[in-house]
A and B are shown apart, each in its own frame.
Chain A
Amino acid sequence: MLSVIEELSEDGTVLDAAHLRARIDDWRRRIDDLYREIAEWFPHLGVDWDGTTVMDEPVMRAYGVPPVRLPVLRLVEADTEVAAFAPGGLWIIGVNGRIDLSAGQNRFVILDKAGIFAPPRWTIAPGLDRLAVEPLSRASLARAIQ
């Protein structure tokens, strides 16, 4: 199971535009699946799917892959934003993608700890205590956004 550092070092894989596009497609699928699951975990909250953010990472520029837009998920309660999830980067050494979570004044990082092209293993940690990592679940996310 390859990691991002192996991938970017071309140790066991070949970097080219086709590979990067496949990785972006896989990233988008994982984000969509996660957002759907989160929406199901909190049916009492409103869901705003309309926002997007631009993905334009250094390796994409190096191989001529144009920027793409990725979805931002907002959970709302009585017209007040409870939480906003935004993709923070795919090619991050040590993980297979990061989603930034803002919940009021609090920040969390949601990380996929799986290898590339593997089923995701999402975790969550407070921004100010990044060693306090726990698996992402309805319960751990509820604690973060309560």
Chain B
Amino acid sequence: MKHLAAITAVYSEIATALDAQAAQARDAADAALIERVAQKRQINDSTYFILIWGQLEAEINRVAEWAVRARRSSIRWEDRRAWDAHDPENMWAKFEDRAALVLDRLNVDSDACRRTIRYDGWRNGIAHGATLATGIDVPTVIGDLYQIAGEIRA
């Protein structure tokens, strides 16, 4: 999660340049240009979203792998039997399952696990070219990802 501040700064710079283009297109009442700038904004938002999402995803994978190693090393079989099903060298579990290893799926107050899975689904939608959103407010999402990261437990 260490690159998020730098990512936000670069995102802000490019997004502001696109905001200026959008304002010019609006002032000129140029419908085709307005549409082109809207597409550029959407692509820019999606690109940065995928970049920041990758930071949280990597953190979840890292902590999940660590948790599996630590729990599998227990001498007591009662403690490690469920964890033995996971191979830390080869975490084949789908992302949703890895997220549930480090975020409490039943914590409805924070809803962190569900929010994480929703973001993952959104990333997959972008990757497959299917998104209905006009844009993504990247700084707001970064704030949310920090909150989720604060709830990850090994």
Contacts and interface: CB of A to CB of B under 8 A. Distances in A.
Interface string B42-57: 1001000100000000
B19 A127 contact: yes
B26 A58 contact: no
Question: In which size bucket is the chain A interface?
Answer: 35 or more
Contact of B132 (A8, A72, A130): A8
Contacts, number: 97
Tell me what chain B mostly uses at the interface: helix, strand, loop, or mixed.
helix
B106 interface: no
Interface string B132-150: 1111111111111000000
Contacts of B15: 127, 130
B137 A95 contact: yes
B132 A91 contact: yes
B34 interface: yes
B140 A102 contact: no
Tell me what chain A mostly uses at the interface: helix, strand, loop, or mixed.
mixed
B23 interface: yes
Contacts of B26: 53, 72, 86
A45 B137 CA distance: 31
Interface of B: 8, 11-13, 15-16, 19-20, 22-23, 26, 31, 34-35, 42, 45, 49, 118-119, 121-122, 131-144
